[in-house]
A = this chain, B = another copy of it.
């Protein structure tokens, strides 16, 4: 059948199949978005079932042998145009990877995930790792099995890393973290030796509606297209996309903590600007998808930190902020405000960490996961390992599991190998931001006027438009002329905090 048909026909069948998978996946994403924003409480149980059914359909279609045959034939023919060839080659990689797992394994993983998530909720509620231990152990065993099924070179953890970040390995991450660990420790110590910064003004009462209005004004000015997206409130901020013309972000508002909303808005806007900049002609195909998790995170971090925590940008925005909160910020200069929002404080919770200490949180999880997967650490030892590392790296005492090894949802979802992409995101962000400034000095001067359009334009051209054409490292080389160079990040941090903490 396949052999007698033209390449054009076969390619159209492939794109049509892929678009339908995307339709179903995005429908599931709409249901997920709704669950986290507007779902009435009693609706949750049937909603879970409805999403599971959609996921099943998408999974079945993505491992349909007819799709495999089609792609193999197309690849073999070798007469597709360049984007077509790239799409087929990436889709075939995904397909081949998926096919390595038996349906029985997928089902087991899905059941374990569901159970693990509920046990984690309970363990956190009761503040006891012991409750989570056995199910987590089963999950780790399954993840080891997954690594064997997927195949790997050198280290089983590579198989898991590769899921989230094509080509990412233990070797690469060890190198990167070895390069940052000591300089960051040193920076942290130098900061800790200086007087603490006063950020109490961030904890005065900031009324909800005013915070929301300010956030919306910022988002709009950063270039978020409200004709092709929206913002809502949810318990945990997130970005989701149903296609580049419907990208949704959420935020949360704490009246006693201005930071909570402000930088979550900017962070999620960074993710959203990437999604709104992906090429729509490749909807459902690899070239229409984001490059990798670390590149996605580089976009959120770049806007949140390199822009949204810079003095340049606030010189424009602070006077505007003052019109929203004249009382709360009375007597606070833009310099004091800038110092306050960049206060460094080694603490227990990753998601609340500053730009310096954040990466120790990630390193601890990376080292821990690697040891669990290679078998040098057992699940029983997680709390003591965790608490020891927090003492070593950050000098903080972990008072209980809830504020310790139970704080993140990731393991309960089976997401092992995910955390490193958070740090890689910051590292890529620094390199991309510095390069943009070097290539087009006008970008920096525009930011000082509050105009980030030239920066967005640069990112659209050098990052967004390429979809999944390149791996993270290829994209980095393409955009900056070299692969990841950690010195950009270290230089950025050192330069910034030297000035803030005056050493």
Closest B residue by C-beta to A28: B27
Complex Cα gap A105–B104 (Å) = 39
A43-B283 contact given A20-B53, A23-B54, A34-B34, CB 8 Å threshold: no
Q: Is the CB of B40 within 8 A of A246?
A: yes
Q: Contacting A229 at CB < 8 Å: which of B40, B54, B227, B228?
A: B40
Specify which chain B residues have a CB less than 8 angstroms from the CB of A26 in the assembled complex. 46, 50
Q: Is A45 an interface residue (CB 8 A)?
A: yes
B49 contacts A23, C-beta separation under 8 Å = yes
CB-contact partner of A40 in B46, B53, B54, B230, under 8 A: B230
| A243 contacts B by Cβ under 8 Å | yes
**In the complex, what distance in Å separates the CA atom of A232 from the CA atom of B40?**
12
Closest chain-B Cβ to A17's Cβ sits at a distance in Å of: 11
Bound together, the chains give a CA A51 to CA B47 distance in angstroms of 17
Q: Are A53 and B23 in contact (CB under 8 A)?
A: yes
Q: Which B residues are in CB contact (< 8 Å) with A243?
A: 43, 46
Nearest-CB residue, chain B, relative to A29: B50
Chain B residues near A20: list those with CB within 8 A. 53
A245 within 8 A of B: yes
Find chain B residues with CB under 8 A from A27 CB: 27-28, 30-31, 50-51, 53-54
Whether A54 and B230, one on each chain, are in contact in the complex, defined by CB atoms closer than 8 angstroms, is no
**B46, A246: Cβ atoms closer than 8 Å:** yes
Residue among A19, A28, A38, A232 with the most chain B CB within 10 A? A38
A81 vs B243: C-alpha distance when bound (angstroms): 47
> Are B40 and A227 in contact, with the CB atoms below 8 A?
yes
B49 touches A19 (CB 8 A): yes
Bound Cα distance A53, B42 (Å): 28
> Given A24-B53, A50-B26, A53-B24, do A245 and B43 touch, yes or no (CB 8 Å)?
yes
Tell me the A209-236 residues at the B interface (CB within 8 Å): 225-230, 232
| Residue A242 is within 8 A (CB to CB) of chain B in the complex | yes
Query: What are 5 A-B interface contacts by the 8 Å CB criterion?
Result: A23-B50, A23-B54, A27-B27, A47-B246, A50-B242
Binding site for B on A (CB under 8 A): 19-20, 23-24, 26-28, 30-31, 34, 38-43, 45-47, 49-54, 57, 225-230, 232, 242-243, 245-246, 283
- Give me 11 other A-B pairs in contact (C-beta within 8 A), A26-B50, A40-B228, A40-B246 excluded: A23-B50, A24-B57, A27-B31, A40-B226, A41-B227, A42-B227, A42-B228, A42-B246, A43-B245, A45-B245, A47-B242
